[in-house]
Amino acid sequence: MSAIGFVGLGAMGSRVSGRLLDAGHELYGNDRTRSKAEPLIERGLQWCESPREVAVAADVIFSMVTDDAALYAITSGADGILAGLAERKIYVDMSTVSPRASRQVAERVGSLGAYMLDAPVSGSILTLREGKLLIMVGGDRAAFERAEPILLAIGPKVRHVGEVGQAKALKIGVNLSLAVQMLAFSEGVLLAERTGVDRRVAFDTFLHSVIASPMLQYRAPFALDPPDYAWFDCGMMQKDLDLALELGREMSVPLPTTAATREVLTATRALGYGKEDFAALFHGLARMSGIHDPPPARD
């Protein structure tokens, strides 16, 4: 088994790391907050004091962080991942960040004789738990083939899609659709509800109709029965929509439904639902429609 490193042990990163431990890999890890790593340390993760130490200890180094700024922070400087890389090591970034940021970091990785793969995932904590995660990978084909057995321990569907940055573009395309779908679903349900249709009847009907995507089937019910915590709150949704809009401008692709959904999210946050999951779009639109029975705001 390869010695593997993981930087960024948040909600998803910690669970991905857990699957790597379950597969028998020697795992080295770091996060800004050590307490997040304690359950993994108890299971065998070897704690490192910096991303650089992780890169020195491991042959294949993974990261999963929030945004471009966080990616630059963990890779740069004397304590960054780049400072610990050596020839032929592989750095796999699973973060949802801009293709531009991925390419910039990849250039620096390549100058060290190492390889970078961008490998964002499609799915959630539930998808990961059920072993259904899809991993999209961009980068050198030979490096991908070396990393593929490790990636398959994380999720059963691993797809090489092209160059570094192209996997991020695919991920951004997937994620913009999630919020857009939820907004369209909310519009339809609330329109029916305004005519007198019971909300739960509308939900059940929509989720057994031709529009019922896998995402809607497991995320839309949160509008009826909220989870204890948000897997993906409004701020994270807006970050991904902003990435999409930025990429759309760069590529001259108009994204009208993305732009509209982004504005509805802004209004939704102003109404106090910023800490909700995708259900925030439903509750915000319900309030805008004059329907005053959503769960209390938690923002």
Domain 169-288 sits in CATH 1.10.8.60: no
Q: 182 and 219 in contact (C-beta within 8 Å)?
A: yes
Instruction: Tell me whether residue 145 is exposed, middle or buried, using C-beta atoms within 10 angstroms of its C-beta: 0 to 12, 13 to 18, 19 or more.
Output: exposed
Can you give the pLDDT at residue 137? Answer: 98
Q: What are the structure tokens assigned to 126, written together?
A: 């539930």
Can you give the pLDDT at residue 285? Answer: 95
Q: What are the structure tokens assigned to 5, written together?
A: 């490193």
| Rounded Cα–Cα distance for residues 186 and 180 (Å) | 10
Amino acid identity of residue 167, one-letter, is A
> In this structure, which topology does domain 3-162 adopt according to CATH?
Rossmann fold (3.40.50)
Look at residues 66, 83, 82 and name the one whose alpha carbon lies nearest to residue 32. Answer: 66
Q: How far, in Å, are 119, 139, 152, 165, 246 from residue 162 at the CA level?
A: 11, 6, 18, 8, 21
Can you give the pLDDT at residue 230? Answer: 75
Q: Spell out the per-residue pLDDT of the chain, length 299, in tens.
A: 579 999 999 989 999 999 999 999 999 999 999 999 999 999 999 999 999 999 999 999 999 999 999 999 999 999 999 999 999 999 999 999 999 999 999 999 999 999 999 999 988 777 777 777 899 999 999 999 999 999 999 999 999 999 999 999 999 999 999 999 999 999 999 999 999 999 999 999 999 999 999 889 988 999 998 877 777 889 999 999 999 999 999 999 999 999 999 999 999 999 999 988 899 999 999 999 998 766 655 55
Domains of the chain, residue spans: 3-162, 169-288
